[in-house]
Amino acid sequence: MAAAALAAAVAIPLGVATPAYAGQVRCSSDTTSGAWKGRCFRYPTDGDSGGVSGSVHNYKPGTDAYARNYFHAKGEYFTLHNETSHDAYFSAWRYVDEEWKVIFPEVKLSAGESRELDFILPEGQDVAARVCVKSRGCVTLDSYRS
């Protein structure tokens, strides 16, 4: 799955929403299927001037099952949660020199696991985050900013 995620990262379209838009937005990519759905959020007023935080969710409506990849622009870190009964996979990229470069490759979390990943990212770079739930699809948003 790692090779497929990296290949898909190169094809992520840039700039789905304007930097000033906050709240729920259309995801850049949503391949969820069946009862599972994708949801994406952006928060440009997070205390990081010019930064845009937000999250991508892969969830099953009507249940407490979800996996979430949350990017915090202030502090440049990611909070990963897997509250499903399946394995979930998380990844992120930054847009540098006209191409998407991996911030962290696919991180696998088992059911009920969470993790925080901290990075030093240059200010003003576009950031993309993805969450995939095994056999239920992936959700990506590419309009965050460090």
Confidence tier at 88 by pLDDT (50, 70, 90): very high
pTM for this model (two decimals): 0.84
Percent of the chain past pLDDT 90, that is, above it, reads 77
**Residue 3 or residue 79, greater confidence:** 79
Nearest to 65, CA basis, from 27, 37, 91: 37
Query: Three-state DSSP class for 43?
Result: strand
Q: What is the mean pLDDT of the chain?
A: 87
Task: Find where tokens 């949660």 sit.
Answer: 81
Nearest to 131, CA basis, from 66, 75, 76: 66
Q: Which two tokens stand for residue 14?
A: 């840039």
* pLDDT one-digit tens code per residue, 96-109: 999 999 999 999 99
Confidence tier at 20 by pLDDT (50, 70, 90): low
34 has pLDDT over 60: yes
Check: CB of residue 129 under 8 Å from CB of residue 112.
Answer: no
The letter for the amino acid at 45 is: T
Confidence tier at 21 by pLDDT (50, 70, 90): low
28 has pLDDT over 90: yes
Give me the sign of the Cα torsion angle 7, 108, 102, 74: positive
